[in-house]
Amino acid sequence: MIRINSQVPDMELSAFHEGEIRKVRLSDYRGRWLIMMFYPADFTFVCPTELEEAADAHDEIKKLGAEVVSVSTDTAYAHKAWHEASPSVKKIRYPMLADAGGRLSRELGTYSEEDCMSVRATFIVDPDGIVKAYEMHSNDIGRSIREIIRKLQAAKFVKEHKGLVCPASWVPGKKTLTTATSTVGKL
């Protein structure tokens, strides 16, 4: 299972993106931040609500120098069918990765052998392919794209400002802390 500050494995996956099924390598995202949103399956209940929320925030995420991808153990053909059938999923312009054999899910520790699918998980990966944050939770609990964006902003901030750290609930413009002494001003 992957850990914080470890390298995301590079592998090639099929993806449904911009109306086409194509191959995508995880290393294609090097040089920019990456949000990987694992979810259990297409044509489910909670998943379209979160993927739609991510689709609505996609432009904001891109302005932060990041890309988002969704990942499930469905095939790219299932992603295409779901994209065509669901008004919520139809909004998605980011790549929908197909981890049909569960290889990536297993590598990152999100695969449930009992259910034969991924649990709901989010990974924030820096431009060097290093995991900076992740969370996993029960498949019946949806995640918040606002909190994911906040974590992305905090991860970017500490990477760009050596020696500074972000306290609880930090958002851009709020006070940060220094690892050497005490609180510093807004940045």
How does residue 19 score in pLDDT terms, banded at 50, 70 and 90?
Answer: very high
Q: CA 180 to CA 7: how far, in whole Å?
A: 27
Give 36-67 pLDDT, tens digit per residue. 999 999 999 999 999 999 999 999 999 999 99
Residue 118 confidence (pLDDT): 97
One-letter identity of residue 55 = A
Residue 187 confidence (pLDDT): 53
Q: CA 45 to CA 153: how far, in whole Å?
A: 29
One-letter identity of residue 187 = L
Domain ranges of the chain: 12-145
C-beta atoms surrounding 149 within 10 Å = 20
Contact 47, 78 (CB under 8 A): no
Give 3-17 pLDDT, tens digit per residue. 999 999 999 999 999
Give 83-136 pLDDT, tens digit per residue. 999 999 999 999 999 999 999 999 999 999 999 999 999 999 999 999 999 999
Q: 12-145 falls under which CATH superfamily?
A: Glutaredoxin (3.40.30.10)
| β-bridge partners, 65 | none
Which one of the listed residues 37, 47, 92, 121 is annotated catalytic? 47
Coil, strand or helix at 4: coil
166 catalytic residue (yes or no):
no
User: DSSP letter at 43?
Assistant: S
Give 127-179 pLDDT, tens digit per residue. 999 999 999 999 999 999 999 999 999 999 999 999 999 999 999 999 999 98
Contact 16, 51 (CB under 8 A): no
**Secondary structure (DSSP) of 169-185:** T--TTSEEEESSSSEEE
Residue 186 confidence (pLDDT): 54
